[in-house]
Amino acid sequence: MSLTAPIDLGLAILLLGLAVWVIAASATYRAAEGFIAYGLVLALVWVRVGSVDVALTEAALGSGLTGLLLLRAAARLPPADPAETARPGKGVRVLAALLSAILTGGLAAVVLLLPEPAPTLAPAAAASLPATGMGNPVTGVLLAYRAIDTLGESIVLVLALVGLWSLAPDGAWGGRPGALTTAPAGSALRFLAQVLPPFGILVGIHLLWVGADHPGGKFQGATVIAAMWVLILIAGLRRPPTVTSRAMRWLVVVGSLLFVGIGAAGTWLAGAFLAYPDGLAKPLILAIEAALTLSVAVILGLLLAGPPEAECPTEARS
């Protein structure tokens, strides 16, 4: 404890400093850059509070993909909009600071007054772990103890994609997502996009596979695979599929469909929705994880690629 205390303090100061940077930076682009660094430091903090699974997710998704999304948006927004530079008056800012300070003070009091001993669901999660054949308690919770949350989440992802696509302008429907297409990429980026994806996909599959017994899992693996796809799209080596592509739509929903199907089968075979029959838990969980990895990777990539855009005005309505 005495050895790690200075590291913890340094991490906390760095984290808060970067958060202040994200809020105070003058340009949106620089704030988004700060957010990426903030996410990486936050991932280290997650390691320090003992949640390596969350740290992997934060580094890949919270920092990497969210940062890319915000950077692209900052680059695409019209620059120097007067509405964006006009700040609220001093009175509003003082009131907001006061409100934020009260909120922080209240939350800090809650942190300092948390009950002893801390309530925990760890024994309940541990009790259901041997039946699933999983060694990683977080994966066990995600797919057995609280599988309903994970099912809901996989459906939320599909709905988010539906919402995103419905923002397409009239005439652009049937086009390709355009948020990631750039000016011709430099040769260094093209080279990176040719060399890195095989390794990245292996890392993603590895994360999925070891997630049964060690930190990792389908979301972390899917995020890495999605990042590889996005890298290829940004480098211009491949184009995103059109939103009307049947094959891609099947990939988007296959994870949720399989999850719902196996969950519903559990109603008859194991006596409850989302329950697994004895002895079959591990293979079923692996099947759900594999299908969900595929779907989540495709959905994350498509969420980054944005709504479909008309490629040029003449072919937009064809």
**Residue 208 binding another protein, by CB under 8 A:** no
Torsion of Cα atoms, 141 then 147 then 153 then 156, to 10°: -170
Q: Tell me how far the alpha carbon of residue 296 is from its chain's centroid.
A: 9
Smallest distance, another protein to C-beta of residue 296, A: 7
Site for another protein in 91-120 (CB under 8 A): 92-93, 96-97, 99-101, 103-105, 107-108, 110-112, 114, 118-120
Smallest distance, another protein to C-beta of residue 124, A: 8
Tokens of residue 110, six digits: 């809650």
**Residue 203 binding another protein, by CB under 8 A:** no
User: In this complex, which beta carbon is closest to another protein, that of residue 49 or of residue 195?
Assistant: 49
Site for another protein in 43-62 (CB under 8 A): 45-46, 48-51, 53-54, 57-58, 61-62
Identified binder of another protein from the candidate list 130, 156, 202, 315, rule CB under 8 A: 156
**Residue 216 binding another protein, by CB under 8 A:** no
Range in contact with another protein (rule: CB under 8 A) among 2-10, 186-194, 238-246, 275-283: 2-10
**Residue 213 binding another protein, by CB under 8 A:** no
Smallest distance, another protein to C-beta of residue 50, A: 4
Range in contact with another protein (rule: CB under 8 A) among 11-19, 233-241, 248-256, 258-266: 11-19
User: In this complex, which beta carbon is closest to another protein, that of residue 78 or of residue 279?
Assistant: 78
Binding mask 285-304 for another protein (x = CB under 8 A): -----------x--xx--xx
Smallest distance, another protein to C-beta of residue 192, A: 23
Binding mask 223-262 for another protein (x = CB under 8 A): ----------------------------------------
User: In this complex, which beta carbon is closest to another protein, that of residue 159 or of residue 188?
Assistant: 159
Smallest distance, another protein to C-beta of residue 18, A: 10
**Residue 88 binding another protein, by CB under 8 A:** yes
What is the rounded CA–CA span in Å between residue 274 and residue 16?
Answer: 41
Site for another protein in 117-136 (CB under 8 A): 118-126
What are the distances in angstroms from CA 164 to CA 32, 73, 148, 221, 317?
Answer: 21, 14, 24, 23, 20
Size of the residue set binding another protein (CB under 8 A): 101
Q: Which residue has the tokens 């993603």?
A: 204
